[in-house]
A and B are shown apart, each in its own frame.
Chain A
Amino acid sequence: MNSLQVIVRAKEDKQHPLSDDLAAIVGLEYVSDNEAVRWSYLPDWCIIEDVTPVAPAIVVRPRTTEEVSKILRLANRTRTPVYTRSGGVQPQGARGEEMYRSILLDMTRMTDLVELDEKSLTATIQAGATWMKFNLEVEKRGWQLGHKGTYGGFASTVGGGVSVNNNGFGSAVYGMSADEVTNLNVVLPNGDILETGSRVNPNARRFFRFCVGPDLAGIFMSSGGTLGVITEVTMRIYPKKKRKYGTVGFKDGKKAFECYYDWIRNGHVDDMAWTPRVSPGSFPELTEKGYEGKISFMVQDVDEDVLEAKWRALVKTAKEHGGEILDPRYAESWYMYRSEWEGYIPQLRVGLIGRLRRNEPTEEGIHLIGTPCCHMVPVGDAWDHLQKMIELDNKYQEEMKKYNVSFAPGTGAYLGMKNAGHSPTGVGYDQSDPKSVEFAHKLIQEHCKLAVENGGCNYNVGKYWWPHTIMKSPVYRELLIKIKKAVDPNNIMNPGGLGLPSD
């Protein structure tokens, strides 16, 4: 589409010193230092934005890797911090401390499918494309992704996902998004363009990650934009598979988690989610029948017989743990509501869940939901870990009611991720009320602390975790600092991100 030159700039005396240079790179209409535009980029999907609201100094919307390269050269030369913003739905607060003087790179103009290579069984997409677009582009060509994108919402982007290490649909088999990545294109802080993995050989296709030397792609994934800008992502593709959905009800939660463990261990289930009776994902009539909760699951395969065999194996295991097979429509509704698999069905989403979950509504009933402290635990520890989290939840019931905060570690969906269990948290609060924000902020901090003390581990990089992880591991942190200094000597990429020094 053509874009009109609707230009929104700051008044002359307030113009950003780099605005003309940036406009020369991307075009005048794709640069703005206007205050309202800058503030429109403030809200990620994270409470941090309510605790410490800081807008960037200028916003730029590049279209190509080459434009990103030129922008970083300029930023590096002028020692200007750069914050990479993708889908704008980061739930755990990855931004560092220098936002107020940063160039914000809005990556959402970079959405092209670069290549779908049937010989290498990979697809490459520009980093600003949403997961849903990536899925659509691949599926309309007769293929599918293994890891299909974030649970948090398909408005998040592929580049943003791998930068902060998302899990998501298909994680039970395919792991995190990073597990399915074969190659990256990354613009380094000095503007150089790095192609990782097999593309070190210019004659090679994008198909192989662990070659040549150390896994450089791995350094940039989960780096929270501190080391460079990921501009293209290559992931494995698979033939489109037949799918079957199921629901198993359990009257004993502990036994449900034993089934959960066995399913993960045996590797037959492609996606699954435990929803206890208190979860918005549960159904009143199941509770009335005495079910403690249910596991909704999905299994897929290209071959009908294999699909049926996997299905039978899962059902057998479930029954051994006291599970009862329920109407599969419960699972279908779950996957519809999680927006997944069949793809295009409008459904209720996590925001609604937040509103449903709210305690006594405030006068205005305002509520916002976030997932700032979802984390992983070893799959065999999942049940015991959950009980600890629920204890914390119970401890603060009165205050939660007082401040209109909902905090539900036990009521979200316990998802499966290879050898790990995904410990969920939905935190709802009134974003118009500073006291509600403050209390939710405190609860999140406590939750993250307890999660780590109890052997849990964050996956999505965010500042709630830094005090308990990176900051407490001097050897790890020192090495990160050295890598950061080597790659980004002027510390222009998201300074302060990952808990690293901001100066």
Chain B
Amino acid sequence: MEFPELKKCRNMVFSCNRESYCRDMVRIDGTWLICPVREHTGGFDAYTAKGRNAIARALLKGQIDIDDGLIDIVYTCALCGNCVEHCEMYTPEAMARWSKLPLFAPLKITYEDHIVKTPEVTKALRADIFNAGYKVPEGIARVGESIERCGNIFNVSSSDMYNWKPKSLPEKAKLVYFPGCLAGYSFPEIGQSTVKILKSAGEEFTMFDHCCGNPLFITGQLKLARDVVERDVMKLEDVGAEKIVTTCAGCYRCISKEWPKIIGRDLDFEVASAAQLIQDYLKEGRIGPLSLEHEITVTYHDPCELGRHSSVYEEPRSIIKSIKGVKMVEMGRNMQSAWCCGGGGGLKICKPDLATEIARERVQEAEETGASAIVSACPSCKLNIQDAIGVTSSPLKMIDLVELIADAL
């Protein structure tokens, strides 16, 4: 079998130095486990970045074949990137510090030069497996069919999806709110809160009600993903978009990182996460000061796609800390070292029980901070952590950042 997508990752696959820090290595937070999937399964090396790269090398060398077990392993990954963050300890912070040292400065070392991005390898392998017609986990193809047919992952019409959408939005606007599928259907409160914030800031905006293609990229359905992106870009350009704001970490990463690759050029519009936009509003005095009637202690869960994959760490924290009546406490594992909730990377689709099990650990960690609510900035995290709260009967509330802000306006 040919592996056209995996071959594009050949550099990374063969650059893995096989030293096992992606399995357990003491991290800056004093803990030593790296992979949530490994720790909540049988824990075989196959689930670590080192093992995944070993499997990829064996496939490229023709030493092993694809079978159901291999496919299961490939799709059992949250693509959280914690392995990348700790790969031979090439953390961006360490790189930044070390690149200034006299020895390394002349070499102009960058984080990008040395990192083995195993989630990219996994995504490439998923694409090759999917394209070759192998049987993939149930749900993967269904999501694709739904996006193809209805433009969203829920197989429902746009009017059913976005029934909370304000009636009076213009057809064209410079600012476009891109709620994505989950905020569109499962969590209207996220969409409604965002609309409230945008209106409060005096924005003239419109909305875009179509999937960004992220579920397709992460599950290997690249052909359809390309179609979706091309269509979305064309429509957004028709709308006259100059700036897009997303409340979904997955949409944010996909639009800002995947879309330009697909269309082969920079986007004509700027992409911002809600956190970044809200911080701008606060700085410009367009909203705020923010305050809550009843005091609350919250902890912030970094969504992988916003944090590790997009380096948006400070904005949500800064916003939360600016709200009068809100006390912010950190979980031990935060920012680059945040423990994934298990809700991303297609894991919730392929292995929903495993995803919830991983989130239970995160809920427990949040409880240990004494917070009464977990705040995040991604509906996928909200979905998965909320499921874990339900399973554990935890007293914690799960709220999205925009909900917190809307309440504090």
List chain A positions with a Cβ less than 8 A from chain B.
Answer: 1-4, 6-11, 29-32, 34-37, 39-45, 49, 53, 59, 61, 87-89, 106, 108-109, 130, 132-133, 136, 152-156, 280-285, 333, 337, 339, 343-352, 354-356, 364-369, 430-432
Interface residues of B in 28-86 (CB under 8 A from A): 28, 30, 32, 39-46, 48, 50-52, 54-55, 57-58, 63-65, 67-70, 72-73, 76
A130 engages B32 (CB within 8 Å)? yes
> Does B27 lie at the interface of the complex (its beta carbon under 8 Å from any beta carbon of A)?
yes
Chain B residues with CB under 8 Å of A354's CB are 17
Q: Does B141 contact A (CB under 8 A)?
A: no
Contacts of B10 in A (CB 8 A): 364, 366, 432
Query: Are B58 and A3 in contact, with the CB atoms below 8 A?
Result: no
- Give the 8 A-B CB pairs with smallest separation, nearest first: A40-B51, A34-B69, A351-B17, A40-B46, A36-B70, A346-B94, A155-B20, A432-B14
The answer to whether B39 and A1 touch across the interface, beta carbons within 8 angstroms, is yes
How far is A356 from B114 in the complex, measured between Cα atoms in Å? 10
Q: Is B93 an interface residue (CB 8 A)?
A: yes
A109 to B23, CA, bound (A): 12
Residues of B close to A348: CB separation below 8 A: 88-90, 94-95, 98, 104
Q: Do B45 and A41 touch across chains, with their CB atoms under 8 A apart?
A: yes
Q: Would A40 and B11 count as touching, CB distance under 8 A?
A: no
Q: What is the chain A residue whose CB lies nearest that of B13?
A: A432
B72 to A369, Cβ gap below 8 A? no
A34 with B26: in contact, given A7-B42, A346-B89, A365-B11 (CB under 8 Å)? Answer: no
Is B210 in the interface zone, CB < 8 Å from A? no
**B43 proximity list for chain A (CB < 8 A):** 3, 30, 61, 106, 108-109
Give A85's nearest chain B residue, CB to CB: B45
Q: Is the CB of A344 within 8 A of B30?
A: yes
Give, as a whole number of angstroms, the nearest-CB distance from B69 to chain A: 4
Verify A345–B28 contact, CB threshold 8 A.
yes
Interface centre among A7, A42, A106 (most CB of B within 10 A): A42
Are B25 and A155 closer than 8 Å at their CB atoms? yes
Complex Cα spacing A284 to B17, Å: 26
State which of A87, A133, A285 has its C-beta within 8 Å of the C-beta of B32: A133
* CB neighbours of B98 from chain A (8 A): 337, 347-348
A8 to B55, CA, bound (A): 14
User: Which of B148-156, B223-231, B349-357 faces chain A?
Assistant: B349-357
Q: How far is the CA of A163 from the CA of B52 in the complex (A)?
A: 27
CA distance A29 to B46 in the complex (A): 13
The total of Cβ contacts below 8 Å across the A-B interface reads 221
| Set B32, B69, B95, B354: member contacting A132, Cβ < 8 A | B32
- Using known A-B contacts A45-B18, A347-B94, determine if residue A36 contacts B55 with beta carbons closer than 8 Å: yes
B221 → A minimal CB distance (Å): 22
Q: Does B107 contact A (CB under 8 A)?
A: yes
> B133 an interface residue at 8 Å Cβ cutoff?
no
B102 at the interface (CB under 8 A from A): yes
The answer to whether B90 and A6 have CB atoms under 8 Å apart is: no
Is the C-beta of B361 less than 8 angstroms from some C-beta in chain A? yes
Q: Which of A36, A284, A333, A369 has a CB less than 8 Å from the CB of B69?
A: A36
Q: Does B103 have its Cβ within 8 Å of any Cβ on chain A?
A: yes
Query: Contact between B45 and A88 (Cβ–Cβ < 8 Å)?
Result: yes
Closest to B106 in A: A284
B138 within 8 A of A: no
For A364, what are the chain B residues with a Cβ–Cβ distance below 8 Å? 10-11, 14
Find out whether the CB atom of A35 lies under 8 angstroms from the CB atom of B67: yes
**Smallest CB gap from B357: residue in A:** A4
CB atoms of A285 and B11 under 8 A apart: no
